[in-house]
Amino acid sequence: MQKLYIIAGCNGAGKTTASYTMLPELLHCHEFVNADEIARGLSPFNPDSMAIEAGRLMLRRINDLLEEGSDFAFETTLSTRTYQKFVERAREKGYFVSLLYFWLPSPEQAIERVAKRVSLGGHNIPTNTIRRRYESSMRNLTKLYIPICDYWVIYDNSTAEGVKKIAYGSKGEIKEVVDALAYQKILSYE
């Protein structure tokens, strides 16, 4: 069975960093599609100028991988409905779809993380965009994406101590809630 991994979370949640370890070493997935990395490849000194083109290329690439029947992963904030039909199509094609969501407890922490990334030479996201995406990501996680994924897990990635599992389940059902307070906070965005 083909595997699709969705690496999701708000801006600054640590999606890319986690992906470079988790995907090849733990999940044995070696095809990772990331619009930020595509933009950096198109224009290393000004990747922000290539964001729209990188988004188009990312969508083309994940559609090609789906048609080829390859195992792959892609990164997203889940702040839009863009991938809902794509996930449904993948499942119709026999893919096992896993959603790995990296959570931060507030948009303020996301803003701080992005500012730190920029100070280290990374790409910037305007604070109003971070706030808007944070809230829509939280809503879409529980309302749109958890119900259509074969497996889902939410990790707290807010501390330097590493990720901690908050909850996990399958096909919209909860199997276990490890951190009830964090999970309730996530549900409060519904």
pLDDT score of 144:
96
Mean pLDDT (the chain) is 95
pLDDT score of 124:
83
Consecutive H or E run containing 38 = helix 35-42
Tokens of 63: 């559609």
Q: What is the DSSP string of 55-85?
A: HHHHHHHHHHHHHHT--EEEEE---SSTTHH
| Among 27, 125, 148, CA closest to 77 | 125
- Is the pLDDT at 162 greater than 90, yes or no? no
3-31+72-187 CATH fold: Rossmann fold (3.40.50)
Q: Using one digit for the tens of pLDDT, what is the confidence trace for 45-82?
A: 888 888 899 999 999 999 999 999 999 999 999 999 99
Sign of CA dihedral 102, 107, 110, 114: positive
Tokens of 164: 């901690």
Model pTM score: 0.94
pLDDT score of 103:
98
